[in-house]
Chains A and B, each alone.
Chain A
Amino acid sequence: MATQSNLAHQDDPKPGRRDFLYIAAGAVGAVGVAGVTWPLINQLNPDASVLALASIEFDLSGIEVGQSVTIKWRGLPVFVRNRTPEEIAEAKAVPMSDLKDPATDEQRTKPGHEQWLIMIANCTHLGCIPVGDSGDYNGWACPCHGSQFDTAGRIRKGPAPTNLVLPPYEFISDTLVKIG
Chain B
Amino acid sequence: MGNLAEYLMEELECETVFKIPIRIPQIAAYADGIPVHESIVVTWIIMAVLILISIILTRNLKVDHISKRQAVAELIVTRLTGLVEGMIGENGKAYVTWLTTVLLYIGVANAIGLFGMKAPTKDLNVTVALAVMSIILVEAAGIYQLGIKRWLHKFLEPVAVVLPINILELVTRPLSLCMRLFGNVLGAFVIMELIKFVVPVILPAVLCCYFDVFDGLLQAYVFVFLTSMYISEMLETEEEA
A-B interaction: no
B residues apposed to A, CB below 8 Å: none
